[in-house]
Amino acid sequence: MEGFNHSGIVETDQELHVLAVDDSLVDRKVIERLLKISSCKVTVVDSGRRALQYLGLDGDKNSVGFNGLKVNLIITDYWMPGMTGYELLKKIKESSTFKEIPVVIMSSENVLPRINRCLEEGAEEFIVKPVKLSDVKRLKDYIMREEIEVEDINQRKGSSTSQGALKRKLDETHHDNENENDDDDILFSSAPSSPLSTLSSSPLNSPSRRLKTSEDDDDYSD
Amino acid sequence: MLGFGADRLRADMNRLLALLFHQGVLDEQFLQLQQLQDETSPNFVSEVVTIYFRESEKLLTNLRELLSDRDFSDYKKMGIHLNHFMGSSSSIGAKRVKNVCVAFRAASEQNNRLGCFRALELLEHEYCYLKNKLHEFLQMEQQRIMGAGARYPIQN
Protein backbone atom coordinates (compact mmCIF):
# COMPACT_ATOMS: atom_id res chain seq x y z
CA MET A 1 0.00 0.00 0.00
CA GLU A 2 1.54 3.25 -1.06
CA GLY A 3 1.80 6.62 0.48
CA PHE A 4 0.62 6.24 4.01
CA ASN A 5 0.49 9.34 6.09
CA HIS A 6 3.33 9.77 8.55
CA SER A 7 1.29 11.67 11.08
CA GLY A 8 -0.23 8.42 12.26
CA ILE A 9 -3.60 9.00 10.71
CA VAL A 10 -4.86 6.00 8.83
CA GLU A 11 -5.21 6.63 5.15
CA THR A 12 -6.08 4.05 2.63
CA ASP A 13 -6.54 4.51 -1.05
CA GLN A 14 -9.83 2.70 -0.76
CA GLU A 15 -13.10 3.93 0.53
CA LEU A 16 -15.28 1.57 2.51
CA HIS A 17 -18.17 0.22 0.52
CA VAL A 18 -21.29 -0.14 2.61
CA LEU A 19 -24.46 -1.94 1.64
CA ALA A 20 -27.40 -0.36 3.47
CA VAL A 21 -30.78 -2.09 3.69
CA ASP A 22 -33.95 -0.37 4.88
CA ASP A 23 -37.54 -0.43 3.71
CA SER A 24 -38.17 3.14 4.83
CA LEU A 25 -37.39 5.79 2.25
CA VAL A 26 -36.75 8.41 4.90
CA ASP A 27 -34.25 6.15 6.65
CA ARG A 28 -32.58 5.19 3.39
CA LYS A 29 -32.02 8.80 2.58
CA VAL A 30 -30.61 9.54 6.00
CA ILE A 31 -28.31 6.53 6.19
CA GLU A 32 -27.05 7.16 2.68
CA ARG A 33 -26.17 10.72 3.58
CA LEU A 34 -24.57 9.72 6.87
CA LEU A 35 -22.36 7.25 5.02
CA LYS A 36 -21.49 9.53 2.14
CA ILE A 37 -20.55 12.37 4.42
CA SER A 38 -18.29 9.90 6.21
CA SER A 39 -16.55 9.19 2.89
CA CYS A 40 -18.00 5.77 2.27
CA LYS A 41 -19.22 4.39 -0.98
CA VAL A 42 -22.85 3.45 -0.51
CA THR A 43 -25.25 1.02 -2.12
CA VAL A 44 -28.75 1.30 -0.75
CA VAL A 45 -31.51 -1.25 -1.24
CA ASP A 46 -35.02 -1.43 0.11
CA SER A 47 -35.31 -5.06 1.15
CA GLY A 48 -33.44 -8.13 2.31
CA ARG A 49 -34.33 -9.82 -0.95
CA ARG A 50 -32.70 -7.08 -2.97
CA ALA A 51 -29.67 -7.17 -0.73
CA LEU A 52 -29.27 -10.88 -1.45
CA GLN A 53 -29.82 -10.25 -5.14
CA TYR A 54 -27.11 -7.62 -5.09
CA LEU A 55 -24.72 -10.02 -3.46
CA GLY A 56 -25.70 -12.79 -5.85
CA LEU A 57 -27.03 -14.89 -2.99
CA ASP A 58 -30.64 -15.03 -4.01
CA GLY A 59 -30.41 -18.60 -5.21
CA ASP A 60 -31.20 -17.65 -8.77
CA LYS A 61 -29.45 -20.23 -10.85
CA ASN A 62 -28.83 -17.67 -13.54
CA SER A 63 -27.03 -15.39 -11.15
CA VAL A 64 -23.36 -15.04 -11.96
CA GLY A 65 -22.51 -14.22 -8.39
CA PHE A 66 -21.11 -11.02 -7.10
CA ASN A 67 -19.34 -8.83 -9.63
CA GLY A 68 -19.63 -5.53 -7.89
CA LEU A 69 -17.36 -3.60 -5.67
CA LYS A 70 -16.34 -5.54 -2.60
CA VAL A 71 -18.69 -4.88 0.30
CA ASN A 72 -16.94 -4.01 3.56
CA LEU A 73 -19.99 -3.61 5.75
CA ILE A 74 -23.68 -4.39 5.65
CA ILE A 75 -26.00 -2.27 7.71
CA THR A 76 -29.62 -3.35 7.84
CA ASP A 77 -32.85 -2.41 9.52
CA TYR A 78 -34.34 -5.11 11.71
CA TRP A 79 -38.04 -4.75 10.93
CA MET A 80 -38.67 -5.13 7.25
CA PRO A 81 -41.56 -6.76 5.45
CA GLY A 82 -40.73 -10.02 3.71
CA MET A 83 -37.34 -10.70 5.18
CA THR A 84 -36.29 -9.22 8.49
CA GLY A 85 -32.78 -7.95 9.13
CA TYR A 86 -32.27 -10.93 11.37
CA GLU A 87 -33.14 -13.34 8.55
CA LEU A 88 -30.85 -11.44 6.22
CA LEU A 89 -28.08 -11.67 8.80
CA LYS A 90 -28.52 -15.43 8.99
CA LYS A 91 -28.37 -15.84 5.23
CA ILE A 92 -25.19 -13.82 5.05
CA LYS A 93 -23.53 -15.75 7.83
CA GLU A 94 -24.48 -18.99 6.11
CA SER A 95 -22.71 -17.94 2.95
CA SER A 96 -19.11 -19.01 2.58
CA THR A 97 -18.40 -16.02 0.39
CA PHE A 98 -19.88 -13.34 2.58
CA LYS A 99 -19.92 -14.59 6.14
CA GLU A 100 -16.85 -12.54 7.02
CA ILE A 101 -18.54 -9.28 6.13
CA PRO A 102 -19.54 -7.47 9.30
CA VAL A 103 -23.29 -6.98 9.61
CA VAL A 104 -24.81 -4.27 11.75
CA ILE A 105 -28.48 -4.29 12.70
CA MET A 106 -30.49 -1.11 13.25
CA SER A 107 -33.76 -0.91 15.09
CA SER A 108 -35.90 1.83 16.57
CA GLU A 109 -36.19 -0.14 19.79
CA ASN A 110 -33.70 -1.61 22.20
CA VAL A 111 -35.34 -4.89 23.01
CA LEU A 112 -32.82 -6.99 24.84
CA PRO A 113 -33.88 -10.45 23.60
CA ARG A 114 -33.80 -9.14 20.05
CA ILE A 115 -30.35 -7.65 20.53
CA ASN A 116 -29.00 -10.84 22.04
CA ARG A 117 -30.42 -12.95 19.27
CA CYS A 118 -28.76 -10.80 16.64
CA LEU A 119 -25.43 -10.77 18.40
CA GLU A 120 -25.57 -14.53 18.86
CA GLU A 121 -26.20 -14.93 15.17
CA GLY A 122 -23.02 -13.00 14.49
CA ALA A 123 -24.09 -9.39 14.13
CA GLU A 124 -21.23 -7.03 14.74
CA GLU A 125 -23.34 -4.47 16.46
CA PHE A 126 -26.90 -3.52 17.14
CA ILE A 127 -27.64 0.19 16.79
CA VAL A 128 -30.76 1.79 18.17
CA LYS A 129 -32.14 4.29 15.69
CA PRO A 130 -31.85 7.09 14.96
CA VAL A 131 -28.38 6.44 13.63
CA LYS A 132 -25.99 9.32 14.22
CA LEU A 133 -22.81 10.52 12.59
CA SER A 134 -20.86 9.37 15.61
CA ASP A 135 -22.21 5.83 15.13
CA VAL A 136 -21.08 5.78 11.52
CA LYS A 137 -17.69 7.17 12.41
CA ARG A 138 -17.16 4.56 15.06
CA LEU A 139 -18.23 1.77 12.74
CA LYS A 140 -16.01 3.04 10.02
CA ASP A 141 -12.98 3.27 12.27
CA TYR A 142 -13.61 -0.25 13.46
CA ILE A 143 -14.05 -1.73 9.99
CA MET A 144 -11.03 0.10 8.65
CA ARG A 145 -8.92 -1.24 11.46
CA GLU A 146 -10.12 -4.77 10.75
CA GLU A 147 -9.49 -4.38 7.03
CA ILE A 148 -5.99 -3.15 7.64
CA GLU A 149 -5.22 -5.98 9.99
CA VAL A 150 -6.35 -8.47 7.38
CA GLU A 151 -4.22 -6.78 4.76
CA ASP A 152 -1.37 -6.73 7.20
CA ILE A 153 -1.58 -10.47 7.65
CA ASN A 154 -1.72 -10.98 3.90
CA GLN A 155 1.17 -8.63 3.30
CA ARG A 156 3.35 -10.25 5.87
CA LYS A 157 3.31 -13.32 3.75
CA GLY A 158 5.23 -11.21 1.25
CA SER A 159 8.48 -9.45 2.03
CA SER A 160 7.07 -5.95 2.48
CA THR A 161 7.41 -4.40 5.91
CA SER A 162 5.57 -1.17 5.16
CA GLN A 163 2.25 -2.71 6.05
CA GLY A 164 3.51 -3.70 9.46
CA ALA A 165 4.70 -0.16 10.03
CA LEU A 166 1.28 1.14 9.14
CA LYS A 167 -0.36 -1.20 11.58
CA ARG A 168 2.02 -0.16 14.34
CA LYS A 169 1.15 3.44 13.63
CA LEU A 170 -2.46 2.45 13.80
CA ASP A 171 -1.95 0.84 17.18
CA GLU A 172 -0.20 3.96 18.43
CA THR A 173 -3.09 6.09 17.28
CA HIS A 174 -5.53 3.75 18.96
CA HIS A 175 -3.65 3.85 22.22
CA ASP A 176 -3.48 7.62 22.09
CA ASN A 177 -7.21 7.74 21.74
CA GLU A 178 -7.88 5.15 24.37
CA ASN A 179 -8.18 7.52 27.27
CA GLU A 180 -10.39 9.95 25.45
CA ASN A 181 -12.89 7.51 24.22
CA ASP A 182 -13.77 4.58 26.39
CA ASP A 183 -16.54 3.58 24.03
CA ASP A 184 -14.01 2.16 21.63
CA ASP A 185 -12.49 -0.03 24.29
CA ILE A 186 -15.78 -1.43 25.44
CA LEU A 187 -17.15 -2.02 22.00
CA PHE A 188 -14.15 -2.98 19.96
CA SER A 189 -11.69 -5.20 21.68
CA SER A 190 -8.99 -6.67 19.53
CA ALA A 191 -10.64 -10.08 19.63
CA PRO A 192 -12.26 -10.65 16.27
CA SER A 193 -15.39 -12.32 17.55
CA SER A 194 -18.42 -10.59 18.98
CA PRO A 195 -16.85 -7.47 20.48
CA LEU A 196 -20.16 -6.70 22.07
CA SER A 197 -20.32 -9.74 24.31
CA THR A 198 -19.06 -7.58 27.16
CA LEU A 199 -21.53 -4.87 26.48
CA SER A 200 -24.71 -6.65 27.47
CA SER A 201 -23.48 -6.76 31.03
CA SER A 202 -22.41 -3.14 31.10
CA PRO A 203 -23.85 -0.94 33.82
CA LEU A 204 -26.92 1.12 33.15
CA ASN A 205 -24.94 4.33 33.06
CA SER A 206 -22.51 2.91 30.52
CA PRO A 207 -21.38 5.40 27.88
CA SER A 208 -23.04 3.25 25.28
CA ARG A 209 -26.55 4.43 24.77
CA ARG A 210 -27.51 1.38 22.86
CA LEU A 211 -28.20 -1.09 25.55
CA LYS A 212 -30.24 0.64 28.15
CA THR A 213 -31.68 -2.55 29.51
CA SER A 214 -35.30 -2.93 28.79
CA GLU A 215 -37.66 -5.26 30.56
CA ASP A 216 -39.87 -5.50 27.51
CA ASP A 217 -40.21 -8.85 25.95
CA ASP A 218 -39.99 -9.19 22.27
CA ASP A 219 -43.68 -9.33 21.45
CA TYR A 220 -43.37 -9.97 17.81
CA SER A 221 -42.92 -13.53 16.78
CA ASP A 222 -40.65 -14.23 13.87
CA MET B 1 -29.85 45.62 3.21
CA LEU B 2 -29.92 41.89 2.60
CA GLY B 3 -27.64 41.19 5.53
CA PHE B 4 -30.12 42.56 8.00
CA GLY B 5 -32.91 40.44 6.53
CA ALA B 6 -30.79 37.33 6.68
CA ASP B 7 -29.90 37.91 10.33
CA ARG B 8 -33.50 38.48 11.17
CA LEU B 9 -34.52 35.32 9.36
CA ARG B 10 -31.88 33.31 11.12
CA ALA B 11 -33.00 34.67 14.46
CA ASP B 12 -36.60 33.77 13.68
CA MET B 13 -35.59 30.31 12.60
CA ASN B 14 -33.60 29.76 15.76
CA ARG B 15 -36.45 30.99 17.85
CA LEU B 16 -38.84 28.62 16.13
CA LEU B 17 -36.49 25.70 16.62
CA ALA B 18 -35.97 26.60 20.26
CA LEU B 19 -39.72 26.64 20.75
CA LEU B 20 -40.13 23.26 19.08
CA PHE B 21 -37.36 21.79 21.19
CA HIS B 22 -38.88 23.25 24.32
CA GLN B 23 -42.25 21.77 23.47
CA GLY B 24 -40.65 18.39 22.84
CA VAL B 25 -41.93 18.43 19.27
CA LEU B 26 -38.39 18.01 17.94
CA ASP B 27 -35.32 16.46 19.45
CA GLU B 28 -31.60 16.55 18.72
CA GLN B 29 -31.97 14.22 15.77
CA PHE B 30 -33.28 17.20 13.81
CA LEU B 31 -30.02 18.97 14.50
CA GLN B 32 -28.21 15.91 13.23
CA LEU B 33 -30.13 16.24 9.96
CA GLN B 34 -28.99 19.83 9.66
CA GLN B 35 -25.42 18.71 10.13
CA LEU B 36 -25.82 16.44 7.13
CA GLN B 37 -26.64 19.42 4.94
CA ASP B 38 -23.78 21.17 3.17
CA GLU B 39 -22.73 22.51 -0.22
CA THR B 40 -22.82 19.03 -1.75
CA SER B 41 -26.32 18.45 -0.46
CA PRO B 42 -27.74 21.91 0.21
CA ASN B 43 -31.42 20.91 0.37
CA PHE B 44 -31.01 17.76 2.36
CA VAL B 45 -33.24 18.70 5.28
CA SER B 46 -35.99 19.92 3.02
CA GLU B 47 -35.79 16.76 0.89
CA VAL B 48 -35.94 14.40 3.84
CA VAL B 49 -38.77 16.29 5.51
CA THR B 50 -40.74 16.33 2.27
CA ILE B 51 -40.39 12.57 1.95
CA TYR B 52 -41.41 12.22 5.58
CA PHE B 53 -44.57 14.27 4.97
CA ARG B 54 -45.50 12.17 1.99
CA GLU B 55 -44.94 8.86 3.75
CA SER B 56 -46.64 9.99 6.93
CA GLU B 57 -49.77 11.07 5.14
CA LYS B 58 -50.02 7.69 3.46
CA LEU B 59 -49.56 5.96 6.80
CA LEU B 60 -52.19 8.10 8.47
CA THR B 61 -54.63 7.38 5.67
CA ASN B 62 -53.97 3.66 5.99
CA LEU B 63 -54.45 3.78 9.74
CA ARG B 64 -57.70 5.67 9.45
CA GLU B 65 -58.99 3.29 6.79
CA LEU B 66 -58.15 0.28 8.92
CA LEU B 67 -59.92 1.67 11.96
CA SER B 68 -62.94 2.88 10.01
CA ASP B 69 -63.68 -0.62 8.86
CA ARG B 70 -66.45 -1.99 11.04
CA ASP B 71 -65.04 -5.48 10.79
CA PHE B 72 -61.56 -4.34 11.58
CA SER B 73 -59.43 -6.84 13.45
CA ASP B 74 -56.05 -6.65 11.78
CA TYR B 75 -54.11 -5.17 14.64
CA LYS B 76 -50.96 -6.72 13.34
CA LYS B 77 -51.19 -4.73 10.15
CA MET B 78 -51.79 -1.63 12.20
CA GLY B 79 -48.65 -2.46 14.17
CA ILE B 80 -46.64 -2.65 10.97
CA HIS B 81 -47.80 0.81 9.88
CA LEU B 82 -47.05 2.17 13.33
CA ASN B 83 -43.56 0.69 13.39
CA HIS B 84 -42.87 2.40 10.10
CA PHE B 85 -44.23 5.70 11.35
CA MET B 86 -42.27 5.43 14.58
CA GLY B 87 -39.08 4.73 12.72
CA SER B 88 -39.29 7.57 10.26
CA SER B 89 -40.44 10.00 12.94
CA SER B 90 -37.48 9.19 15.12
CA SER B 91 -35.16 9.49 12.12
CA ILE B 92 -36.11 13.12 11.61
CA GLY B 93 -36.36 13.96 15.29
CA ALA B 94 -40.15 14.16 15.48
CA LYS B 95 -40.26 13.23 19.12
CA ARG B 96 -43.88 13.90 20.04
CA VAL B 97 -45.24 12.17 16.97
CA LYS B 98 -43.06 9.19 17.73
CA ASN B 99 -44.26 9.04 21.32
CA VAL B 100 -47.89 9.05 20.25
CA CYS B 101 -47.09 6.16 17.90
CA VAL B 102 -45.69 4.24 20.85
CA ALA B 103 -48.90 4.76 22.83
CA PHE B 104 -50.97 3.94 19.76
CA ARG B 105 -49.10 0.71 19.28
CA ALA B 106 -49.63 -0.23 22.90
CA ALA B 107 -53.37 0.19 22.40
CA SER B 108 -53.29 -1.92 19.25
CA GLU B 109 -51.36 -4.67 21.02
CA GLN B 110 -54.15 -4.83 23.55
CA ASN B 111 -56.72 -4.96 20.74
CA ASN B 112 -58.16 -1.84 22.29
CA ARG B 113 -60.14 -0.32 19.45
CA LEU B 114 -61.33 2.73 21.33
CA GLY B 115 -57.82 3.41 22.54
CA CYS B 116 -56.66 3.18 18.95
CA PHE B 117 -59.23 5.73 17.82
CA ARG B 118 -58.15 8.15 20.47
CA ALA B 119 -54.51 7.60 19.66
CA LEU B 120 -55.17 8.16 15.99
CA GLU B 121 -56.84 11.49 16.68
CA LEU B 122 -53.96 12.57 18.84
CA LEU B 123 -51.51 11.41 16.21
CA GLU B 124 -53.24 13.39 13.49
CA HIS B 125 -53.24 16.44 15.71
CA GLU B 126 -49.56 16.16 16.56
CA TYR B 127 -48.60 15.45 13.00
CA CYS B 128 -50.57 18.46 11.79
CA TYR B 129 -48.82 20.75 14.24
CA LEU B 130 -45.41 19.37 13.34
CA LYS B 131 -46.08 19.72 9.64
CA ASN B 132 -47.16 23.35 9.96
CA LYS B 133 -44.13 24.26 12.01
CA LEU B 134 -41.64 22.44 9.82
CA HIS B 135 -43.22 24.01 6.77
CA GLU B 136 -42.75 27.42 8.37
CA PHE B 137 -39.15 26.58 9.17
CA LEU B 138 -38.38 25.37 5.66
CA GLN B 139 -39.96 28.43 4.09
CA MET B 140 -37.75 30.67 6.18
CA GLU B 141 -34.78 28.54 5.21
CA GLN B 142 -35.64 28.93 1.56
CA GLN B 143 -35.96 32.69 1.94
CA ARG B 144 -32.65 32.84 3.70
CA ILE B 145 -30.97 30.88 0.94
CA MET B 146 -32.48 33.04 -1.75
CA GLY B 147 -31.47 36.15 0.10
CA ALA B 148 -27.92 34.87 0.17
CA GLY B 149 -27.68 35.33 -3.58
CA ALA B 150 -29.46 32.23 -4.84
CA ARG B 151 -26.36 30.09 -4.47
CA TYR B 152 -28.50 27.02 -4.07
CA PRO B 153 -30.94 25.62 -6.57
CA ILE B 154 -34.48 26.73 -5.91
CA GLN B 155 -36.57 23.84 -4.80
CA ASN B 156 -40.17 23.50 -5.92
Cβ atoms within 10 A of the Cβ of A12, count?
14
Mark yes or no for CB contact B91/A27 under 8 Å. yes
Q: Is residue B73 part of a domain?
A: yes
Q: With a cut of 50, which residues of chain A have pLDDT below it?
A: 1-11, 61-64, 161-222
CA distance A114 to B33: 28
The pLDDT, as a whole number, for residue A65 is 55
The pLDDT, as a whole number, for residue A201 is 41
Provide the 8-state DSSP code for B148.
T
Mark yes or no for CB contact B32/A130 under 8 Å. yes
* Comparison of pLDDT for B31 and B146, the residue scoring more: B31
Domain A2-150 has CATH 3.40.50.2300: yes
Number of domains in chain B: 1
Q: Domain range holding B27? A: 12-35+43-141
Q: Is the Cβ of A46 closer than 8 Å to some Cβ of chain B?
A: no
Return the SS3 of B38. strand
Ramachandran region, residue A7 (left: φ > 0; alpha: ψ -120 to 50; beta: rest): alpha
Which CATH number fits the domain that encloses residue B118? 1.20.120.160
The pLDDT, as a whole number, for residue A108 is 85
B150 CB contacts (<8 Å, ≥6 apart)? Answer: none
Q: Is residue B1 part of a domain?
A: no
CA distance B94 to B56: 12
Rounded alpha-carbon distances, angstroms, from residue A188 to A146, A183, A191, B134: 10, 8, 8, 39
* Comparison of pLDDT for B111 and A68, the residue scoring more: B111
Q: Tell me how close the Cα of A37 comes to any Cα of chain B, in angstroms.
A: 7
The pLDDT, as a whole number, for residue A189 is 38
Q: Is residue B63 part of a domain?
A: yes
pLDDT digits (tens, 9 = 90+) for A87-122: 999 999 999 989 999 999 999 888 889 999 999 999
Residue B2's pLDDT band, with cuts at 50, 70 and 90, is: low
Helix (H) or strand (E) holding B16: helix B2-22
Q: Among residues B83, B94, B30, B25, which one has the least CA distance to residue A107? A: B83
Which residue in the set B32, B35, B48 is minimally distant from A26, CB to CB? Answer: B48
The pLDDT, as a whole number, for residue B21 is 97
Q: Is residue B102 part of a domain?
A: yes
The pLDDT, as a whole number, for residue B156 is 55
Q: Among residues A117, A119, A116, which one has the least CA distance to residue A104? A: A119
pLDDT digits (tens, 9 = 90+) for B48-104: 999 999 999 999 999 999 999 888 888 989 998 999 999 999 999 999 999 999 999
pLDDT digits (tens, 9 = 90+) for B8-18: 889 999 999 99
